[in-house]
A = this chain, B = another copy of it.
Amino acid sequence: MGIHREGGRLFVRIFNSGTLTNILENPKAAANIVDDPALLVKSALSDVEPERFKFIGGFPVLKQALGWVIFDCTCRRGENISVVELSPVRGKINRKAIKPVNRGFNAVIEATVHATRYVGLKEQEYLSKIEYSNTIVQKCGGAREKEAMRLLYELIRYPE
Which residues on A are within 8 Å of B, measured CB to CB?
2-3, 5, 31, 33, 40, 66-67, 93, 95-101, 103, 106, 109-110, 113, 140, 142
Contacts and interface: CB of A to CB of B under 8 A. Distances in A.
Contacts of A140: 2
A103 B40 CA distance: 13
Contacts of A113: 103
User: Is chain A's binding surface mostly helix, strand, loop or mixed?
Assistant: mixed
B110 A103 contact: yes
B109 A31 contact: no
A22 to B, nearest CB: 21
B98 A95 contact: yes
A99 B140 CA distance: 20
